[in-house]
Structure 1
Amino acid sequence: MADEGLRPIIVKRIKKSGGGHHGGTWKIAYADFVTAMMAFFLLMWLLGSTTKGNLQGIADYFATPLKVAMAGGSGSGDATSVIKGGGKDMTRIDGQQKQGDDATPTKKSNLKAAAAELERQEMERLKSLKERIEEAIDSNPSLRQYKNQLLLDITSEGLRIQIVDEKNRPMFALSKAELQPYTKIILHEIAKTLNDIPNRISLSGHTDATPYSSGEKSYSNWELSSDRANASRRELIAGGMAESKMLRVVGLSSAVLFDPTDPLNPINRRISIIVMNKKTEDSITKENRTAEVADEETAKETVEKGVNISGVVQPAPAAVPKPTSVPVAPKPTASATATAAAAAAAGK
C-alpha cells in the first residue's frame, strides 16, 4: 500500500487547433470547385469560338467515334497535327478539308436570267439607236426631204434600216450600181451612228422583178443587187463606219420583195442595212462549226437546236419580215399594164 502512494501521477492535456473538428479539408474542396469552374468557362469559350461545322464533327465523333475515325470528316484530323491527314480522303497529307460554313460562298448564276437580261439590254440599245437616227433625219434638212424613203423598224434579226426607191427618185443610176449624190449623203449620216454600239452589220441589195433582156444567163438582177450592196458598203465605210463591223454583204435580186402584190413596184428596189442582234450574229459566225453527239437522244436534241445529222451547225432561218402595207391601185386594163411594165423596165 505504501508503494502505491509513491507512484507518479501523469496528467495529459489535449491542445485543440483553431480549425475545429473539420481541420483543413475545406481548402481542398474549394480548390476542386475553382478548378471545375475554370474548366467549365474554358469549355464555354471553346464552344463559342468553334464553327458550326466543327461542332457537328465533334458531335459525330462522340456519337460514333469509330465510324468518324475510319471514314474521316470534320474534326477527324488536323493540318497542324503531327500526324498529317484527315478529311474524306485518308490518303491526303495536306490536312483535313473544311466542311463548315464558308465565309465566301459561291454564287450560283442563273444562265437563263442572265441571257434574258443581256437580250433586254441589247434591245434597249437598238431602240436607242433607232431614235437617234430618226432624230438625225428630222434635224438634218438634207435628209428630211428623203424621210419617206428611209424605213426603220425592229425585226427578229435586229434594227433594220431600209433605203427604198421612189418612182421619181431612184437611189442608183439606171440599171447600174452607181449611187446618186443624195444616196451617199444618207449613207454617210447613217454611218456616223453605227459605231456607237458593238453590234455588227448585215447589208443586202434588192431589185424589182423586171428582168434584163438577156435573162439570167449573163448580167442579171442577182449581179446588180450584189454590186449595189457592195457600193453601199463602200459608202458606209467612207462615211466613218469601221470596216470590222461589216459581217455580211449579199445580193438578193427580187427574191424578197417589199411589196409582193406588185413585183414591179419601185419600192422593191432598196438597200437593207441590219444592225444584227447577238443571236443573228452567232447564227452567221458559227455556221461552219461542227458538233459531236454521243447517242441518239443527244443527236435529236442537237438537231432541234439547229444542227443537222452530219454535225454541221446550220443558222436559224431568217424570218422574212412582213411588208408594210402599201396601197394598191385599182386593177389596170391590159393596155395600161403593158405601159407600166415598159416604164418600170426603163427605170430599173
Structure 2
Amino acid sequence: MANPIQPIIIKKVKKAAHAHHGGAWKIAYADFVTAMMAFFLLMWLISMTTQEQKVGLAEYFAPAALSPSNSGAGGILMGTALDSSGNRSSVPRDTAMGTSKQDGSRRTSGRASDREASRPASGSQADHSAVASLRQALQTLPEVAELSRNIVIEVTKDGINVSLVDEQGRSMFPENSVQPYERTRLVLKALAPTLRRLPNRLSVTGHTAAARPGSVQSVDSWNLTAGRALAVREVLSSAGMPNDRFASVVGRADTEPVFPDNPYVPQNRRVTITLLNEEPPLPPGGLR
C-alpha cells in the first residue's frame, strides 16, 4: 500500500526590527558633562580670586541697593558710587548716559576695593555688618522694592553712605519741593531703627543736578538741598533718632555732582545719610 503524500509545511518567521531607543540619554549625559565642567571651572576661578575680588563679586550680586564703594548715590541697595572717585553704577542706567559711565564704573570699582583693602580688618568687618543690617531693614518692606535703584548703600573712607537717589522717571522728592514723597518717608522710617542701634553719628547732605543752560530756576538750589536734608533729618528724628546723633545737616546745591561730565542728569539729585567713622572719645582723664 502506497504511503500518502504528506504536505510540506514551510514556516517563515518574520523578524521584527528592534524599536529605536532614541537619544535622550545622550542629551542628559551631555548636560551632566557640561554641568561638571562649569562646576570645576567655578572652583578654579574661586581659587584664583583674591579676598577683595570675592567681596566685590558678592556686592555686585547682592540684592537691594547697595555697594561698598565711594560715593553718594548709585545701587538699594547694586553698589554704585555717586562721586568721581567711586564706582559709577552697578546697575543699568538710562541708555542715554552712554558707555562712558559704564567704563567709569569698572575703573572706580577697583579703586573702591583698594580703599577697603587698606582699611583695618575690624573696621571693614563692622562696616559690612552694618551694611547688611541696613539692607535687611529695607528688604522687610515689599512696598519699597520698586525703589531698589533709588537707594544706594556703600562703604566710603568717611563711613557708610545711604543715598536716596533720583532716577529717570522716579524721584524721591517732588520737583522743587523739600518735602519727600510718602514712599521716601517709608524708606527712612524703615532705616531708622537700624540707624538708631548703630553707634555712628550721622551727617545728612543734600545734592541736586545743575540747571541746563538757558533754563530758569524757580527755587534756589542751596535752599532746596538744605531743605531736603533737613526734611530727612526730621523724618528720622520723628522715627526715634536722638537729636544728638546728628553731626551735621547741610546742602551742597550742585557743587558735587555724581557724574561731573554730565551734571544735568537726575542721578545727581540725592540726599545722602553718612554713618561717620569717628575716633572713639577719650575716657575722662585720658591722654590729651
TM-score interval w.r.t. the shorter chain?
0.5 to 0.7
Paired residues, number: 162
Shift of 1:168: 1.6
What TM-score do you get using the length of structure 2 for normalisation?
A: 0.52
Mapped to 2, the partners of 1:151 and 1:232 lie a distance apart of: 15
Mapped to 1, the partners of 2:262 and 2:179 lie a distance apart of: 25
Instruction: Find out whether 1:131 has 2:132 as its counterpart.
Output: yes
Question: Which 4+ runs in 1 deviate beyond 4 A?
Answer: none
**Kept after mapping to 2: 8 A contact 1:125/1:197:** no
Task: Note the alpha carbon deviations across 1:285-337, whole angstroms, 9 max, x for none.
Answer: xxxxxx9xxxxxxxxxxxxxxxxxxxxxxxxxxxxxxxxxxxxxxxxxxxxxx
Mapped to 2, the partners of 1:178 and 1:214 lie a distance apart of: 18
Mapped to 2, the partners of 1:131 and 1:209 lie a distance apart of: 33
* Alignment partner, residue 216 of structure 2: 213
* Alignment partner, residue 345 of structure 1: none
Structure 2 stretches lacking a partner, 5+ long: 1-118, 282-287
1:158-169 alignment, distance < 5 Å: 158-169=159-170
Give 3-state SS (helix, strand or coil) of 2:197's partner. Answer: coil
1:146-157 alignment, distance < 5 Å: 146-157=147-158
What TM-score do you get using the length of structure 1 for normalisation?
A: 0.44
Shift of 1:249: 0.7
Larger RCO of the pair (alpha carbons < 8 Å, separation 6+): 2
Give 3-state SS (helix, strand or coil) of 2:198's partner. Answer: coil
Instruction: Find out whether 1:227 has 2:227 as its counterpart.
Output: yes
**Kept after mapping to 2: 8 A contact 1:137/1:147:** no
Mapped to 1, the partners of 2:163 and 2:198 lie a distance apart of: 19
Q: 1:155 to 1:214 in 2, by over 3 A?
A: closer
Shift of 1:278: 1.1
Instruction: Find out whether 1:173 has 2:174 as its counterpart.
Output: yes
Q: Which amino acid aligns with 1:150?
A: I
Q: Which amino acid aligns with 1:267?
A: Q
Shift of 1:148: 0.9
Give 3-state SS (helix, strand or coil) of 1:191's partner. Answer: helix
Supply the RMSD in Å over aligned alpha carbons.
2.4
Q: Which amino acid aligns with 2:193?
A: K
Mapped to 2, the partners of 1:214 and 1:191 lie a distance apart of: 33
Shift of 1:119: 5.4
Mapped to 2, the partners of 1:123 and 1:246 lie a distance apart of: 22
* Alignment partner, residue 141 of structure 1: 142
| Greater Cα offset, 234-243 or 222-231 | 234-243
Q: Which amino acid aligns with 1:264?
A: Y
* Alignment partner, residue 261 of structure 1: 261
Mapped to 1, the partners of 2:144 and 2:120 lie a distance apart of: 31
**Kept after mapping to 1: 8 A contact 2:172/2:184:** yes
Shift of 1:264: 1.0
Mapped to 2, the partners of 1:227 and 1:156 lie a distance apart of: 26
Identical pairs, percent: 27
Mapped to 2, the partners of 1:214 and 1:149 lie a distance apart of: 24
* Alignment partner, residue 245 of structure 2: 245
**Kept after mapping to 1: 8 A contact 2:138/2:191:** no
Mapped to 1, the partners of 2:120 and 2:245 lie a distance apart of: 19
Shift of 1:169: 1.5
Give 3-state SS (helix, strand or coil) of 1:274's partner. Answer: strand
Q: 1:214 to 1:162 in 2, by over 3 A?
A: closer
**Kept after mapping to 2: 8 A contact 1:206/1:268:** yes
Structure 1 stretches lacking a partner, 5+ long: 1-117, 283-290, 292-348
